[in-house]
Chain A
């Protein structure tokens, strides 16, 4: 496989459930990101990891918990979510966590919170 792979593609969960989103990149990149994409809104940066270390948490509620065990894998653990958290969650990677290093996105996980 090449590029950035996200699983699952679709997820429906209740407000009391716990689930996890998975992202894997096969590009040899050192930085990984979680973005939230809601309809008619700009992409919102959630978290940044650089060489497995979290370098940015963009004021994300604690019901979202990221984990980066190595430079190739990134998880987003979800618990007690709210309906307004329904969105497309995109994972991305880049060679370096620098501003002009192009982002390579996965195809996202469509999350619906009921």
Chain B
């Protein structure tokens, strides 16, 4: 059974940093692109970042570029999101997700974690 176990939830002050983790099981983690999608309270879905298998290429939404870093440790089956210079508008539930086996479209995802709440407030 595919599982994505998320951790790193927290309350942080504006300008602070936080690291989110997403530990995968039930599939060969190193074979799949992975992505982060966030959802502000009561709002819709916003893609944040993605990392590919081939080349480990990383991609970011303009809203987080230069502040967030996505990475993966295939030996630990874990995906990370390092978040720096956090702003109030980064407050959201952050989901990690696995690239689906159905389509080659960018970062379409068939399995999602339960989400990690990040609150940026003084």
B is a partner of A: no
Please report B residues at the A interface, Cβ cutoff 8 Å.
Answer: none
